[in-house]
Amino acid sequence: MDKRVVVTGLGAISPIGNDVNEIWKSIEEKKCGIDEITAFDTTNFKTKLAGEIKNYDSSKYFDVKQAKRLDKVSQYAIIAAREAFKDSKITKENTNLNNVGIFVGSGIGGIETIQKQCETNTLKGNSRVSPMFIPMGIVNMPAGNIAIDLGLKGESISIVTACSSATHSIGEAYRAIKHGYEEVVLAGGSEAPICEVGLAGFENMKALSHSTDKNRASIPFDKERSGFVMGEGAAVIVLEELEHAKKRGAHIYAEIIGYGATSDAYHITSPDPNGEGGARAMQRAIDDAKITPEEIDYINAHGTSTHLNDSTETKAIKTVLKDYAKKVKVSSTKGNTGHLLGAAGSIEAIISIKAIENSLVPPTINYKVPDEECDLDIVPNEPIKQDINIVMSNSLGFGGHNASIILRKYKN
């Protein structure tokens, strides 16, 4: 018999806040976390803006030795996981930590470490490359370091599906609990891509916005959108088997009821322009949830602010929801955060959960110019107060990876 899966803990660090409460307050206040890049000199770059974490000081979270041995991608992951774990109130007294898993992915991993150590190898020779290079750079280490930090000994898995990594991680964690493989899983994603080589790679791909106006750079569904804005951070949610959560008296934020994943099999970076792959992922999630499209109150869209993504996702939503597509509320919160790549799906899952909790549909901020290709109700600029029972959250990644999850207000 399938088990019900609920959310009992939330944790995040992002360009619009260094904890969940601050992040949600920023959503309510329509705050844009995009600003001029401070991590390095952008003189030789066309791209000047990113969604950096503000006032980040590793010494608030780690001792000097720890910080030196952790790329920011692992630091952010641990910070988010600690908050989520504390929020869940799971302890070794009420939970067997051997049955607590970690499904935390990343699109790129420790790219800043890779850049620095490659520079060292070129300038100073191979003998000067750090022995910590590999453990700091590889993509599985956010999950591995969370397990070590919190003493969790269930499955520790890292899913790497570009910008779908976190949503896939949440979906696969849901399945693991639903089918009885784990009692509790910390799931989400982490990304720390804002360095010279990371920016250069995306810039030369012509994927990034070159706007110097922070309020007109990440503008999902706007006709003047010209590319996405890189963001950094991490978000982790605690998924738990319902009876286990009830037994220990946990606070339940929401229930996850559906998950769908597909591949476009089309192109290494571009989505299928018909949105066929994304549509199938959404339909699979709806089927898994055993709901009708008309029961969905809000869709947190992938909405990256690139021409192809936003128009393609619009087509996919129309394919699945048909006439109802024009009635459902659809917004992208990447206007607030920028695009957190492999962590995007988890920060957006948390925003979706808080939307359910607070009966508030987040807006698509900084929207000015309507696009006839993106003609859904994208909740422009102002949040909408309404009861929200069911939310779908979408992620679409390079390589044609598509994932959708469906969350529902918890009811006994």
Q: Which is the catalytic residue, given 168, 244, 339, 401?
A: 339
CA dihedral 285, 287, 291, 293 (to 10 degrees): 70
Average pLDDT over residues 277-291: 98
| 271 or 178, which is more confident | 178
Please name which of 73, 78, 144 lies closest in space to residue 115, comparing C-alpha atoms: 73
pTM for the complete prediction?
A: 0.97
Residue 356: Cβ within 10 Å count: 23
CA distance 112 to 258: 35
pLDDT of residue 103: 98
> Band of the pLDDT at 389, cuts 50, 70, 90?
very high
List the catalytic residue out of 168, 302, 374, 401.
302
DSSP character for 18? S
Q: What pLDDT digit, counting tens, does each position of 229-254 carry?
A: 999 999 999 999 999 999 999 999 99
Q: Is 318 exposed, middle or buried (0-12, 13-18, 19+ CB in 10 A)?
A: middle
168 is catalytic: no
How large is the angle between the packed helices 344-358 and 165-178, nearest 10 degrees?
A: 70
Mean pLDDT of 163-173: 98
Residues near 70 by Cβ (< 8 Å), separated by ≥ 6? 62, 78, 136, 145
Is 32 marked active-site? no
DSSP class per residue in 213-231:
-TTSSS-TT-TT---B-BB
Please name the amino acid found at residue 254. Answer: A
Query: 86 near 244, Cβ under 8 Å?
Result: no
Domains recognised in the chain with CATH numbers? 5-247 (3.40.47.10), 262-408 (3.40.47.10)
Using one digit for the tens of pLDDT, what is the confidence trace for 174-185? 999 999 999 999
Q: Other C-beta atoms within 10 Å of 266: how many? A: 15
The answer to whether 163 is a known catalytic residue is yes
How sure is the predictor about 269, in pLDDT bands with cuts at 50, 70 and 90? Answer: confident
The better pLDDT of the pair 66, 270 is held by 66
What is the DSSP pairing of strand 254-263 with strand 5-13?
A: antiparallel
Catalytic pick among 163, 195, 244, 374: 163
Return d(Cα 35, Cα 202) in angstroms, integer: 18
The whole-number pLDDT of residue 224 equals 98
Given a cut of 90, is residue 160 above it in pLDDT?
yes
Q: Is residue 348's pLDDT more than 90?
A: yes
Q: What are the residues facing 190 on neighbouring strands?
A: 234
What is the distance between the alpha carbons of residues 243 and 5, in angstroms, rounded to a whole number?
9
